[in-house]
């Protein structure tokens, strides 16, 4: 269920999955009508945090927003109390195409736990397309988490 303060704008993204090369569960971005917030799926990856535990299968923690006027999505992934590759959190900023069939541009700012280390800014290269992938059966089915 989408929070009331996001429901009207979120409708544009509801029931969409964005993935590179149709690789769902390898950093794919999910906008499920049945979830209370969007998430990035790491279902098919075994990423390890600083304490040796595996990254959660679904991740988007705080303060996400979407503007239908600018087609811009913002969200934050927090790795604390651990770190992931030295990062304490990621700030994601994506702009969707007019038809919402792909992410037109985007950045991920990776904030390091060590404040003396400069942030890493990752831009989604133009040759790396996050395309809208139709969920199996033509409608969204939540991914099973084992």
Per-residue pLDDT of the chain (146 residues; tens, 9 = 90+): 344 445 556 677 878 888 887 688 888 888 877 777 788 888 888 888 999 999 888 887 667 888 888 999 998 888 888 988 888 888 889 999 888 888 888 888 888 877 777 777 776 655 556 666 655 444 433 333 32
Number of domains observed in the structure of the chain: 1
Taking CA atoms, 65 is separated from 102, 118, 133, 145, in Å, by: 18, 25, 21, 25
Q: Which residue is associated with the tokens 């075994």?
A: 46
- Phi/psi of residue 22, nearest 5 degrees: 60, 25
Whether residue 16 is contained in a domain is answered as: yes
The residue range of the domain holding 68 is: 4-130
Position 86 scores a pLDDT of: 85
Question: Is residue 140 in a domain?
Answer: no
Q: Does a structural domain hold residue 143?
A: no
Planar angle of CA 48, 58, 35, nearest 5 degrees: 170
Look at residue 135 and tell me if it is in a domain. no
Domain-embedded: residue 146: no
In the numeric block, which tokens belong to residue 6?
Answer: 């996001």
Examine residue 41 and state whether it is found in any structural domain, yes or no. yes
Q: Which of 3, 47, 50, 48 is nearest to 25 (CA)?
A: 47
Question: 142 lies in a domain?
Answer: no
Q: Is residue 102 part of a domain?
A: yes
């Amino acid at each position: 269920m989408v929070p009331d303060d996001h429901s009207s704008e979120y409708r544009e993204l509801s029931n969409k999955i964005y993935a590179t090369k149709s690789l769902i569960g390898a950093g794919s971005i999910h906008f499920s009508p049945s979830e209370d917030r969007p998430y990035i799926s790491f279902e098919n990856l075994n990423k390890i945090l600083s304490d040796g535990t595996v990254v959660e299968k679904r991740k988007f923690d705080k303060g996400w927003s979407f503007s239908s006027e600018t087609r811009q999505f913002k969200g934050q992934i927090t790795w604390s109390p651990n770190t992931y590759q030295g990062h304490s959190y990621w700030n994601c900023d994506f702009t969707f195409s007019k038809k919402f069939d792909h992410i037109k541009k985007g950045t991920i700012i990776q904030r390091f736990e060590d404040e003396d280390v400069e942030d890493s800014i990752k831009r989604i290269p133009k040759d790396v397309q996050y395309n809208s992938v139709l969920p199996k059966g033509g409608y969204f089915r939540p991914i099973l988490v084992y």
